Structure 1
Amino acid sequence: MAHPTDRYQLADPAGIGLDPAALHALVERAHREVDAGLLPSCQLALAREGRLALFTTIGSATNDNRYVIFSATKGVIAGAIWLLMSEGALDVGTKVAEIVPRFGTNGKDVVTVEQLLLHTSGFPQAPMRVTEAASRQARLERFERWRLNWEPGTRFEYHPLAAHWVLGEVIEVVSGLDYREFVHTRLMEPLGLRRFRLGEPPERQADITTLVASGEPPTPEDIEAAIGIPGIDLGALVGEVTTDALLEFNDPAVRAVGAPGGGGISTAADIALYYQSLLHNEAGLWDDDLMVDASRRVRCDLPDPLRAIPAHRSLGMMVAGEGTVATMRGFGYGLSPETFGHDGAGGQIAWADPVSGISFCYLTNGLDRHVLREARRTIGLSSRAAACLAS
């Protein structure tokens, strides 16, 4: 499937098998929190058959604005790794220390590239400030000091940033390019996607929406009512991904670094179209069989201590799976079990459903402290996006 010269031109929804009334219902749902004053703005996009059918921004921003997409960035890094695999340049079973020797200290010599992608590598909270990571030398020095919390491969625990700093270095060593340049020139530019950036200099940040904290955190009673487990502290739900930590991404210096685990800057349109490319491979960047295996085959179903369900991870992505647990992974009702994608702090969500052919992205610059309300919003939006397929 060849993509049009201008991938941002909207297609007639009915012409690509979508229900215009359902698209309207999706936009109406996105209005709810903005109209209620809980979020300053949001942006959403939906695509099918390689074409955008919806791209709109609600609130204090416009389609010309971009957003910090947080951990939805991990889905882009996954595509970069799959590209190196498709070229025969990288085997994810390789021990990281064979590629990055300075990483192989303190027992980390056994960690594989696959374990980095599956969040089973054993150092989820390894310390390094984003601004410190602006220096490659500083990153390597941190790698040397990091220690394991458990034996790699035996436990799943989400690594918010640490594992992806190492994946960035793997990309640099294997490709010979700075990991940000590789993502821009080898991945996004061939796909015709011009607005996603990983690392944006301050002079090019004027269009990025400012992150704003809002709402009150849930009470212990709210948490128990939602998940049925008494005594769960809010800190256990958010870990190191606190509101204060997220607000640091308003700092131009932090945005300029381009953290591979959460520093992507984009429009919702670019991400929705990126996931169309993962479905159709119209630019021929990936080996088709490898793409299907890497994106949809579950390689890790160890227990997720945060969500209290199996992790259900493919090679760098989350996979929806069956039943109601799919919603606990940030996916909505009505999606196929093969749906893959990645969420992000603040309620960002991006996914592609190989069965319906729909891809969807929702972004906001509002950081709702009520994480349960945020989760319900994500489920509601994804469910309405799934319902956009014409019957």
Structure 2
Amino acid sequence: MRTAAVVATVVLTMASSGAAAAEPAMSRFDRPHHGFADTTLRPGTPQQAGLDPAPIDAAAEAIAAWTRPAPQRPLFSGAVALMVHDGVIVHHSALGQALRYVDAAGTELPAEQQVPMRPDTVFDVASVSKLFTSLAVMCLVEDGEVAVTDPVAEHVPEFAANGKAAITVEQLLTHTSGMEPWIPLWRDWPDRESRLRAALERAPRDQPGTRYVYSDLNLIALGVLVERVSGVGLDEFLAQRITGPLGLDDTGYNPTDVERTAATEYQGTPPRGMVRGQVHDENAWSLGGVAGHAGVFSTARDLAVLAQTILNGGQYGGTRVLKPETVRAMLTDYNTEFPGNAHGLGFELNQRWYMGGLSGPRTAGHTGFTGTSLVIDPASRSIAILLTNRVHPSRSWGSINKARETWATGLARAMAVPPKHGPTTWFAAQADASTATLTTPELAPRGPVRVAFDAFVDSEGTDPLTVEYTVDGAEWRTAVLQAAGRGAPRGDQTGLAGSGHRSWWSVHAELPYAAMLTIRWRSTTDGRYTGRGIHLDRILVTDSDGILLNGEKQPHLMLPVGWTSETR
């Protein structure tokens, strides 16, 4: 029997509002933005922003479930979750408890003494503070007081100690200075002055410029640099140049409204008890709560305004805090020689482990040890913020990276990937460690076979889409694929994977002649990081005599396992 082909098209990426005004919102996904936005935040629904609410609702339910005991204790006590697309706040919720426990063992307070999360709960954002310090540095760069190529020692002379005279501001911002990640300033030095001196004079562990090593010491030094050059404290400088002008009234160091803050850890060493309203990081605490690497408290709404300021090229609501060229520099990868550690001037870039399906070359953000994450995707003009108090009551309770990834991917999958041809595509968005197959009926070719299809792929490199065929129904062989399109891998491929390109690929394969032939598209995921998934469209299988299978006209002939037919 001669039949017609099926098209496989990979994944959900991001909707771009750069399409023509008359075009429906749900068809904008494959035209990513390249310039800056010019909008302010406003409340709305996913539908009003052109999004599918179902993936957002599913992600929100997953976050809520992680605040409930399962089976013994929650992954984190509580969370505030926020999503923005094209300036529309499409989701903002508060879940679980801001204060839940009385000790490090997880003894719960009586219900009437627990404090529920609120949408405006103030969080210790931990290392997200590094972004604020980086913004402060870039303000000084704009002022002409500092250049990113300057040796840090030009502005902080004691930093030159122990062979660091040539280390630059850029190397601190990109974590390529050679400094080690952390030293216990709070424990081994008696006061703020000696602690700062120890951090500044510390010898590098590696040759500067030879490795990427994420280091708190880099940002502690930059915080001191801001204070030395500006002549005011880091907290005052940020209030003057960033948080004040943007109206971020809930953002700063050492909050005074303790009752609105989320509790963090019960600390026995140092003996601080249940930490709430003070910075969790011991080194920042020992420096008076104001430091370049940690100490900022904020809300989801304030962080969303900051993120939209970045998407707007440095301005928000008519107030400019940075020039567009400065923002571009902050979102440019300076670490191309250190694959997997893409980093701008302060911002981390393209980190799938918490950016999930929003990952892309320009996707920027940061996480914080207390359980916070901020993801900014310029290509789709989207923001995903997840603030949790995951260290409450103990940092030993585990990682929340799965929650971070889930939240960002929920927003990514809410964005449309319109069919390239016809009304539908095949879509695979299976869970971790699973396989989806889309199989043709048995075909009867009369010569060599050509398989052609379009694919939209957003997956981790270890989660490929393959095309396989069998001539006996038992042994499956992998076809060699060739793909064309923005971001497509070049040359012969046995599997297709990739992310961030946000483009349909045209794919084809040549198969040998066999009297009977069955073909399948297989999408396989490993234990983590699924991305947006894979879409297939316009599947066509032909031989020298013509069409064997036309997926557009005969989708009913395909056998889907883990694939669904999508119309958006």
TM-score (norm 1): 0.78
Whole-angstrom distance in 1 between the partners of 2:376 and 2:147:
25
Question: What is the letter of the counterpart of residue 324 of structure 2?
Answer: D
Structure-1 residue corresponding to 2:264:
211
The equivalences for 1:75-86 within 5 A come to 75-86=131-142
Give 1 or 2: higher strand fraction. 2
Structure-2 residue corresponding to 1:194:
249
The answer (yes or no) to whether the contact 1:172–1:178 under 8 Å persists in 2 is: yes
What is the aligned-residue identity percentage?
25
| CA RMSD, Structure 1 to Structure 2 (Å) | 3.0
Corresponding residue SS for 2:260: coil
Alignment gaps of 5+ in structure 1: 214-241, 304-308, 321-325
The answer (yes or no) to whether the contact 1:302–1:310 under 8 Å persists in 2 is: no
The answer (yes or no) to whether the contact 2:243–2:249 under 8 Å persists in 1 is: yes
The answer (yes or no) to whether the contact 1:300–1:312 under 8 Å persists in 2 is: yes
Structure-2 residue corresponding to 1:316:
346
Structure-2 residue corresponding to 1:382:
408
Moved more, 22-31 or 268-277: 22-31
- Report how far residue 30 of structure 1 moved: 1.2
Whole-angstrom distance in 2 between the partners of 1:93 and 1:248:
43
Structure-2 residue corresponding to 1:227:
none
Whole-angstrom distance in 1 between the partners of 2:359 and 2:372:
17
Question: What is the letter of the counterpart of residue 59 of structure 1?
Answer: G
Q: Judging changes above 3 Å, is the alpha-carbon distance between structure 1 residues 249 and 349 closer, same or farther for their aligned structure 2 residues?
A: farther
Question: Does residue 341 of the first structure (1) align with residue 396 of the second (2)?
Answer: no
- Report how far residue 96 of structure 1 moved: 0.6
The answer (yes or no) to whether the contact 1:134–1:257 under 8 Å persists in 2 is: no
Question: What is the letter of the counterpart of residue 348 of structure 2?
Answer: M
Question: What is the letter of the counterpart of residue 210 of structure 1?
Answer: A
The answer (yes or no) to whether the contact 2:200–2:221 under 8 Å persists in 1 is: no
Corresponding residue SS for 2:367: strand
The answer (yes or no) to whether the contact 1:72–1:262 under 8 Å persists in 2 is: yes
Q: Judging changes above 3 Å, is the alpha-carbon distance between structure 1 residues 130 and 45 closer, same or farther for their aligned structure 2 residues?
A: farther
1:94 to 150, 153, 176: 150
Structure-2 residue corresponding to 1:232:
none
Whole-angstrom distance in 2 between the partners of 1:243 and 1:353:
39
Whole-angstrom distance in 2 between the partners of 1:156 and 1:26:
32
Structure-2 residue corresponding to 1:42:
79
Residue deviations 1:297-323, cap 9 Å, x none? Answer: 1101454xxxxx631111111111xxx
The equivalences for 1:103-114 within 5 A come to 103-114=159-170
Structure-2 residue corresponding to 1:141:
197
- Report how far residue 141 of structure 1 moved: 2.4
The answer (yes or no) to whether the contact 2:55–2:414 under 8 Å persists in 1 is: yes
The answer (yes or no) to whether the contact 2:254–2:278 under 8 Å persists in 1 is: no
Aligned length: 343
Question: What is the letter of the counterpart of residue 387 of structure 1?
Answer: R
The answer (yes or no) to whether the contact 1:199–1:259 under 8 Å persists in 2 is: no
Corresponding residue SS for 1:122: coil
Which structure would you say has the larger Rg? 2
Corresponding residue SS for 1:47: strand
Question: What is the letter of the counterpart of residue 343 of structure 2?
Answer: R
Corresponding residue SS for 1:156: coil
Whole-angstrom distance in 1 between the partners of 2:273 and 2:176:
27
The equivalences for 1:127-206 within 5 A come to 127-129=183-185, 137-143=193-199, 145-159=201-215, 161-200=216-255, 203-206=256-259
- Report how far residue 209 of structure 1 moved: 1.2
Whole-angstrom distance in 2 between the partners of 1:334 and 1:350:
11
- Report how far residue 101 of structure 1 moved: 0.9
Question: Does residue 32 of the first structure (1) align with residue 90 of the second (2)?
Answer: no
TM-score (norm 2): 0.55
Give 1 or 2: higher helix fraction. 1
Q: Judging changes above 3 Å, is the alpha-carbon distance between structure 1 residues 294 and 125 closer, same or farther for their aligned structure 2 residues?
A: closer
Whole-angstrom distance in 1 between the partners of 2:411 and 2:268:
27
Moved more, 74-83 or 270-279: 74-83
Whole-angstrom distance in 1 between the partners of 2:192 and 2:248:
27
Whole-angstrom distance in 2 between the partners of 1:87 and 1:268:
29
1:365 to 389, 406, 425: 389
- Report how far residue 168 of structure 1 moved: 0.6
Q: Judging changes above 3 Å, is the alpha-carbon distance between structure 1 residues 2 and 119 closer, same or farther for their aligned structure 2 residues?
A: closer
Q: Judging changes above 3 Å, is the alpha-carbon distance between structure 1 residues 33 and 315 closer, same or farther for their aligned structure 2 residues?
A: same
Whole-angstrom distance in 2 between the partners of 1:387 and 1:185:
38
The answer (yes or no) to whether the contact 1:116–1:167 under 8 Å persists in 2 is: yes
Q: Judging changes above 3 Å, is the alpha-carbon distance between structure 1 residues 312 and 327 closer, same or farther for their aligned structure 2 residues?
A: same
The answer (yes or no) to whether the contact 1:269–1:361 under 8 Å persists in 2 is: no
- Report how far residue 370 of structure 1 moved: 5.9
2:309 to 277, 283, 289: 277
Q: Judging changes above 3 Å, is the alpha-carbon distance between structure 1 residues 364 and 126 closer, same or farther for their aligned structure 2 residues?
A: closer
The answer (yes or no) to whether the contact 1:49–1:357 under 8 Å persists in 2 is: yes
Q: Judging changes above 3 Å, is the alpha-carbon distance between structure 1 residues 212 and 252 closer, same or farther for their aligned structure 2 residues?
A: closer
Q: Judging changes above 3 Å, is the alpha-carbon distance between structure 1 residues 261 and 278 closer, same or farther for their aligned structure 2 residues?
A: same
- Report how far residue 199 of structure 1 moved: 3.2
Alignment gaps of 5+ in structure 2: 1-36, 98-116, 280-284, 418-568
Question: Does residue 266 of the first structure (1) align with residue 298 of the second (2)?
Answer: yes
Q: Judging changes above 3 Å, is the alpha-carbon distance between structure 1 residues 33 and 181 closer, same or farther for their aligned structure 2 residues?
A: same
The answer (yes or no) to whether the contact 1:111–1:152 under 8 Å persists in 2 is: yes
Question: Does residue 354 of the first structure (1) align with residue 378 of the second (2)?
Answer: yes
Structure-2 residue corresponding to 1:65:
121
Structure-1 residue corresponding to 2:322:
286
Corresponding residue SS for 1:185: helix
- Report how far residue 248 of structure 1 moved: 8.4
Q: Judging changes above 3 Å, is the alpha-carbon distance between structure 1 residues 90 and 59 closer, same or farther for their aligned structure 2 residues?
A: same
The answer (yes or no) to whether the contact 2:167–2:177 under 8 Å persists in 1 is: yes
Q: Judging changes above 3 Å, is the alpha-carbon distance between structure 1 residues 355 and 370 closer, same or farther for their aligned structure 2 residues?
A: same
Corresponding residue SS for 2:356: coil
- Report how far residue 338 of structure 1 moved: 1.4
- Report how far residue 75 of structure 1 moved: 2.1
Structure-1 residue corresponding to 2:335:
300
Q: Judging changes above 3 Å, is the alpha-carbon distance between structure 1 residues 277 and 140 closer, same or farther for their aligned structure 2 residues?
A: same
Structure-2 residue corresponding to 1:216:
none
Structure-2 residue corresponding to 1:118:
174
- Report how far residue 377 of structure 1 moved: 2.0
Q: Judging changes above 3 Å, is the alpha-carbon distance between structure 1 residues 360 and 2 closer, same or farther for their aligned structure 2 residues?
A: same
- Report how far residue 212 of structure 1 moved: 4.7
Whole-angstrom distance in 1 between the partners of 2:83 and 2:159:
40
The answer (yes or no) to whether the contact 1:18–1:388 under 8 Å persists in 2 is: yes
Question: Does residue 327 of the first structure (1) align with residue 352 of the second (2)?
Answer: yes
Corresponding residue SS for 1:257: coil
Whole-angstrom distance in 1 between the partners of 2:403 and 2:45:
27
Whole-angstrom distance in 2 between the partners of 1:81 and 1:51:
30
The answer (yes or no) to whether the contact 1:180–1:199 under 8 Å persists in 2 is: no
Question: What is the letter of the counterpart of residue 386 of structure 1?
Answer: A
2:90 to 53, 57, 76: 53
